[in-house]
Amino acid sequence: MRIHAGSVTPSHCCESIALSAQSPLLLVDAARDAWRRRAIAVAPVLAGGLYPWLLQLAYAAVDRHETSDLSEKVARALVAGALMFAAPGAGLWLMSRLSRAGSMTLGELRLRSIATLVLAAPPLFTLIGVEAWLSGIARFENAIWLAIWLPLAAVALGTTAERVTPAPRRPQATSWRIAHGVGALLLLTGFIGLHLANHLGGLAGAETHLRVMHALRHWYRSTVVEPALLGLCLLQVVTGAVLARRWLARAVDAARALQAATGTYLGLYLVCHLNSVFVYARANGTDTDFWFASGGRAGLLGDAWDVRLVPHYALAVLFLFVHLGAGLRVVLLAHGRKTGWLMPAAWSVGAAVSLGAVLPLLRIHAS
Question: Interface residues with ligand HEM (CB under 6 A)?
Answer: 192, 195, 199, 213, 217, 220-221, 226, 229, 233, 266, 270, 273, 277, 288, 292-293, 313, 316-317, 320, 357-358, 361
Which amino acid, residue 99? S
CB of 20 to ligand HEM, least distance (A): 53
- 52 vs 295, which CB is nearer to ligand HEM? 295
Q: What's the CA angle centered on 362, arms 358 and 367, to 5 degrees?
A: 100
- 76 vs 209, which CB is nearer to ligand HEM? 209
Cα 309 to Cα 358: distance, rounded to the nearest angstrom: 10
CB of 88 to ligand HEM, least distance (A): 15
H helices present in the chain, as ranges? 10-22, 24-49, 51-62, 70-98, 106-119, 121-134, 141-158, 174-187, 193-201, 206-220, 225-248, 254-274, 282-284, 290-293, 309-334, 342-358
Which residue of the chain is nearest ligand HEM when measured via CB?
288
- 70 vs 224, which CB is nearer to ligand HEM? 224
Environment class of residue 260 by beta-carbon count within 10 Å: exposed (0-12), middle (13-18) or buried (19+)? buried
- 124 vs 270, which CB is nearer to ligand HEM? 270
Quick check: 358 and 290 in contact, CB under 8 A? no
Q: Terminus-to-terminus CA distance in the chain, angstroms?
A: 63
Cα 212 to Cα 202: distance, rounded to the nearest angstrom: 9
- 98 vs 358, which CB is nearer to ligand HEM? 358
- 177 vs 195, which CB is nearer to ligand HEM? 195
- 3 vs 196, which CB is nearer to ligand HEM? 196
CB of 22 to ligand HEM, least distance (A): 57
CB of 317 to ligand HEM, least distance (A): 5
> What are the DSSP calls for 70-111, one per residue?
HHHHHHHHHHHHHHHHHHHHHHHHHHHHH--SS--BHHHHHH
Which amino acid, residue 35? W
Q: What's the CA angle centered on 274, arms 116 and 96, to 5 degrees?
A: 15
CB of 365 to ligand HEM, least distance (A): 13
CB of 265 to ligand HEM, least distance (A): 10
- 3 vs 307, which CB is nearer to ligand HEM? 307
CB of 211 to ligand HEM, least distance (A): 12
Helix orientation angle between 141-158 and 24-49, rounded to the nearest 10 degrees: 160
Q: What's the CA angle centered on 47, arms 46 and 50, to 5 degrees?
A: 85
CB of 298 to ligand HEM, least distance (A): 16
